[in-house]
Structure 1
Amino acid sequence: MKKQLLCAFVALLSLMAKTAFGQFSKPISVGAGAGVALNFTDLANVEPKLAFYGEADYLITPYLSVGLRGEKGTLAGNGYDSEFKNRYFAGNINGKIRIGQFMGHPDNYSYYTLEANTLSRILSNIYVGAGAGLVKNRINRTTSSFYKDYLENNGGELFTDLGEIHFVVPLNIGLDIPFGRTLYGPQWAINVNYQHTLTTNDNLDGVKNKSNDQYGFVSVGVKYALFNRK
């Protein structure tokens, strides 16, 4: 699975580069930002922690994109006289679709972006998305004897691999607020995003119990469109 995902990452990067230099009317955007990571794990008392991201998206249409995203942050929580801190790394391939895809905008996007009012442009850039990726754990934990006994009596356990890499599914909802118009679209955008990440196991906090761990990431960032027509 890990080898297949790595090959997919490389293939997508190659496709994005080849297409971008061949068709400037379908640009790549790059972005970066920061926010707060929130754990939804067995140790469920949440301690919000800082996280960062960087991304690159290829626009198939002005409102449909595929891209790559990397994250670095910390998940932390406590409960049952126990606590954990996971300084994680994550990466994913994702797709996003924006409301503008369904708003019946004219085919000539050059005219639309020059004439559209601000409200229409903002509403057009509300999006949802989903993807697939990997998370690399770096977990430190302190577990009370009481909680260890509780886990043993209820079918749970403590993970011994605190640096595991595992598969995740990120779900996104967000908004791009564009500014700086060009013939094809905005040159810049402020991005507000919530990403909810589902895991395929129960090891974001080093504790295995009844259900898989999840985490959320609320972020604000800046995006810049490359290869736009002027």
Structure 2
Amino acid sequence: MTKKLLFAFVGGLLLTIGTVSAQFSRPISVGAGAGATISLTDLANVESKFAFYGEADYLITPFISVGLHGEKGTLGGHGYESEFENRYYAGNLNGKVRLGQFLGHKDNYSQYNIGASTLSKIVSNIYVGAGAGLVKNRIKHHIDPIYLDAITNQGGELADDLVEVHFVVPLNVGVDIPFGRTLYGPQWAINVNYQHTLTTNDNLDGIKNKNNDQYGFVSVGIKYALFNRK
């Protein structure tokens, strides 16, 4: 039964990829933006820090894309007379699926793009996504001896190496707000995104304890479609 459901889902997705594709130029979009990070680590008190990103996406259909995302920023937190700062680098390969892929728009994308309302375009470009990548930590921290004892008692330890690379899984939810209409799709878009990054290592803050660390990144950016016919 599970296999049948999986095949049915994949088959349905392939059928939807065939719609809303006529007159679509499959552009590559590039974008950049900035925002605030939120660390979810062993030090409970969160400090919002700054990060910025650059990305490139290839649109398989008007509403499905695969892309590369690069990010540089800072994570911070404090608690128990301790604090840390992580000036990190991250990169990932990701995919996004937008709501418009499932809304039954016209087969001819040019007709849809010209006739659709602004609200319809915004709703159609709400998306979810996931990916896989790496993060490089560069950590400075001060740990109070009392907290250090508590970590040791729980079987944890302080990281000896404060420069480390490990695997991450970014999860995204957001919206592209298109503008600059052309016959084959919007030329520009404002992007609002929340990325929640799951790590495979409990070391975003330099403290290795029970649970793997995580962090969030709220951002606003601008996107531009390359090679989009006008």
TM-score (norm 1): 0.89
Alpha-carbon contact 1:31-1:54 (below 8 Å) kept: yes
User: How many Å apart are 1:161 and its aligned residue?
Assistant: 1.3
Which residue number corresponds to residue 15 of structure 2? none
| Corresponding letter in the other structure for 1:147 | Y
Counterpart Cα distance in 2 of 1:24 and 1:51: 33
Alpha-carbon contact 1:39-1:216 (below 8 Å) kept: yes
User: How many Å apart are 1:24 and its aligned residue?
Assistant: 8.1
| Corresponding letter in the other structure for 1:225 | A
User: How many Å apart are 1:94 and its aligned residue?
Assistant: 0.2
Q: Say whether residues 1:80 and 2:80 are aligned partners.
A: yes
Please list the CA deviations of residues 158-191 of structure 1 after superposition, one character each: whole Å capped at 9, or x if unmatched. Answer: 0111110000000000000000111121100000
SS at match of 1:86: strand
User: How many Å apart are 1:78 and its aligned residue?
Assistant: 0.5
For structure 2, the 5+ residue unaligned runs are 1-22
Counterpart Cα distance in 2 of 1:152 and 1:120: 55
SS at match of 2:163: coil
SS at match of 1:202: coil
Counterpart Cα distance in 2 of 1:184 and 1:174: 23
| Corresponding letter in the other structure for 2:52 | F
Alpha-carbon contact 1:110-1:183 (below 8 Å) kept: yes
Q: Say whether residues 1:61 and 2:61 are aligned partners.
A: yes
SS at match of 1:137: strand
| Corresponding letter in the other structure for 1:109 | Y
24-33 or 69-78, which moves further after superposition?
Answer: 24-33
| Corresponding letter in the other structure for 2:47 | E
| Corresponding letter in the other structure for 2:92 | N
Which residue number corresponds to residue 181 of structure 1? 181
Q: Say whether residues 1:117 and 2:112 are aligned partners.
A: no
| Corresponding letter in the other structure for 1:87 | R
Counterpart Cα distance in 1 of 2:59 and 2:108: 16
Which residue number corresponds to residue 140 of structure 2? 140
User: How many Å apart are 1:106 and its aligned residue?
Assistant: 1.2
SS at match of 1:76: strand
Alpha-carbon contact 1:135-1:166 (below 8 Å) kept: yes
Which residue number corresponds to residue 97 of structure 2? 97
Point out 4+ residue stretches in structure 1 off by more than 6 angstroms. none
Q: Say whether residues 1:149 and 2:149 are aligned partners.
A: yes
CA RMSD of aligned residues (A): 1.1
SS at match of 1:104: coil
Please list the CA deviations of residues 76-132 of structure 1 after superposition, one character each: whole Å capped at 9, or x if unmatched. Answer: 000111100000000000000000000001111011001101110000000000000
Which residue number corresponds to residue 129 of structure 1? 129
